[in-house]
Amino acid sequence: MCKKLLKPLQNALIEKHLCVGCTRNLATAKRIGSLSDNRYMVECKCKRRFVYDKELGTFQRATFAEEQQILTQDKPNSILFK
């Protein structure tokens, strides 16, 4: 039941380019890496990560796989989990 209430609210915040946790503007978030030519990842001050799609002009929450892709780009020889 909680998901039915929270999901529409989170979608509305993301459509307005606001973080779902702290409601800061995602345009001012720290850019942490590029996933492709048209997509890059940003990190809000509350440490939530989002992917921005340049073609569509939209944000979405970053998936675990996308976060791992960014981490492996920075440090390809590091161990991610111990």
Give the closest residue to 58 by CA, choosing from 12, 24, 21: 12
Across the range 5-20, mean pLDDT stands at 94
pLDDT in tens, 35-82: 999 999 999 999 999 999 999 999 999 999 999 988 887 665 545 554
| Dihedral pair phi/psi, residue 51, rounded to 5° | -110, 130
Q: Percent helix, strand, coil in the chain (nearest 5)? A: 35, 25, 40
